[in-house]
Structure 1
Amino acid sequence: MGIQEIIKGKKEWRAHMARVKSLPQDYQIVYKEIQKYLFKVGPVQLTEGTGLLSEIVDLFEDGAALGKDVLEVTGKDVAAFCDDPIKDSKTYADIYQESVNQKVNKAMKKVTDKKK
C-alpha cells in the first residue's frame, strides 16, 4: 500500500466519521457499538474502506431525517442487525479456524507418513 493510498484512506475515514458526528446522539452511541462489534467479529473486508459502515450511516441519516428512534431503525437486537449483512462474509475467526485445521492436518500427515 503506497503513501497516496494511505492518505486517501485517512481522508475517507475522516469524512465518514464527520458524518457519524453529525448524527443525533442516540444514533452515534448505537453506531459506535455497531462499529466495535463489527471490528471484533465482522468480515475481513470491513477493514478495506468504509463500505458497510457507510451504508449503516446512510441508513441512520435517513432514519434521523424521518425522526425515527435509532432502535426503530436497527431493531432492539442490535447484534442481530449487525450479523445479517455479514452472514455470508469471511471473518477473522473463519481464517483462524482454517489455519488451525491446516496445521493439524499437516501434522497428522507427517505422523501418518512416519508410520508407513
Structure 2
Amino acid sequence: MSDTKFGGFIATMVGPKRRWRQYQARVRQLPPNYRAAVEATQRHMMHFVPTDADSDASRFEDLAALFEQAAANGTPIREVVGPDPVKFAEAFVHNYSDGGYVPARARKQLTEAIERAAGEGSGK
C-alpha cells in the first residue's frame, strides 16, 4: 500500500472515531435530563443505516448541538422533541440518510426514555 493510500485509510478509520469521541464528550457535558434525552435518541438513531461516515458523524454532532442550545436557552425537552419522540428522531435521521427499519420495541424504549428525561412520570 502506498503512503498516500495508507494515509487515506488511516484518516478514514481515525476521523470518525475522533469525531465520535468528541461527540460523546459534548453529550457528557449536558445537564443530566438533556443528556438522558440525547442518549435515548442516539440509541434509537442507531437502528438507521448510515449512508457514509461523514453523514453519520454529522447527524450525531448536530443532535448534540441541538440539545446544547436547548439546555443553554432553558428550552424544555418536550419543546425540542415534541409530543412524539419517535417521529422527531426519525425525521431527524431522514435529513442524513434513507433510514432503516426500527423495531416497535425500540420506538417504545425511546418514548419511555424521553418521558423520564422530561420528568413526565415513571415512563411505564
TM bracket (short chain)? 0.5 to 0.7
How many pairs are equivalent? 92
Closer/same/farther in 2, CA of residues 86 and 7 from structure 1, 3 Å limit: closer
Tell me the residue number matched to 2:81: 74
Tell me the residue number matched to 2:64: 57
Larger radius of gyration: 1
Identical-pair percentage? 25
In structure 2, the gaps of 5 or more residues are 1-7, 102-124
Listed as ranges, the matches of 1:26-37 within 5 Å are 26-37=33-44
SS at match of 1:50: helix
SS at match of 2:34: helix
1:58-89 Cα shifts (integer Å, max 9, x gaps): 11111101112222211131111012133474
SS at match of 1:23: coil
Q: TM-score, normalised by structure 2?
A: 0.63
Separation of aligned partners in 2, 1:16 and 1:86: 16
Instruction: Say yes or no: does 1:19 pair with 2:26.
Output: yes
Closer/same/farther in 2, CA of residues 46 and 38 from structure 1, 3 Å limit: farther
Preserved CA contact (<8 Å) 1:24 1:64 = yes
Q: Shift of the alpha carbon at 1:10?
A: 1.5
Tell me the residue number matched to 2:98: 90
> Which residue of 9, 19, 35 corresponds with 2:16?
9
Separation of aligned partners in 1, 2:43 and 2:53: 12
CA RMSD in angstroms comes to 2.2
Q: Shift of the alpha carbon at 1:57?
A: 1.1
Q: If each structure's helix is expressed as a fraction of its own residues, which one has the higher value?
A: 1
Instruction: Say yes or no: does 1:45 pair with 2:51.
Output: yes
Q: TM-score, normalised by structure 1?
A: 0.66
